Amino acid sequence: MDQKIIAKAEEIINSKTGYIGNGMGGYAALALIDENGYPTASTLTIAKAGGIKWLSFNTSLDRNSVKRIKKCNRASVCINSNEYNITLVGTVEVLTDTDTKKEMWFPPMEEQWSGHDDPEYCVLRFSTERYSLFIDYKEVKGIL
């Protein structure tokens, strides 16, 4: 049963990534520790994902989230609806290399940045260490 729930969670996450049709993909809440040691969450579009193993988000280097990650890279991601709750706990890193930025780029981002080589554009890559999945009224917890 655990593998079926994990597979369904991965299917949900992967269906919410990047640019879909005329709009953005799905959203996830990224929770970080702020400068005062408190958790804070913000909602971001999921750029790409490797199932429950990793997710990436696009943002700007001047955002509070980037500053917080540089101080403490522990994080949690939550993706939910009335039908499911996917909570992932792990670490997040700020990536600025050209190859990663180009790979995570999708069309609507042109409104915010000049292109994948814009010096302010960066990618947040979240890597899961443990998970808690509530799907189809079943709960599965584990460590990757």
- 86-96 pLDDT, tens digit per residue, is 999 999 999 99
Give the CATH number of the domain where residue 78 resides.
Answer: 2.30.110.10
pLDDT at 20 (0 to 100): 58
* Total domain count, the chain: 1
Give the domain range for residue 137.
2-143
C-alpha separations of 5 from 16, 21, 95, 103 in Å: 17, 27, 30, 28
Among residues 70, 124, 65, 61, the alpha carbon closest in space to that of 92 is found at 124
Dump pLDDT digits (tens) for 51-96.
999 999 999 999 999 999 999 999 999 999 999 999 999 999 999 9
Among residues 65, 132, 88, the alpha carbon closest in space to that of 57 is found at 65
C-alpha separations of 102 from 4, 25, 97 in Å: 33, 18, 9
Flag the least confident range among 13-27, 31-45, 74-88, 129-143: 13-27
pTM to 2 decimal places = 0.92
Alpha-carbon gap, residue 119 to 77, rounded angstroms: 26
Are the beta carbons of 26 and 86 closer than 8 angstroms?
A: no
The beta strand positions in 1-143, using DSSP E, are: 19-20, 23-24, 27-33, 39-49, 54-60, 74-80, 84-95, 121-135, 138-143
Q: Is 32 helix (H, G, I), strand (E, B) or coil?
A: strand
Mean pLDDT of 35-60: 94
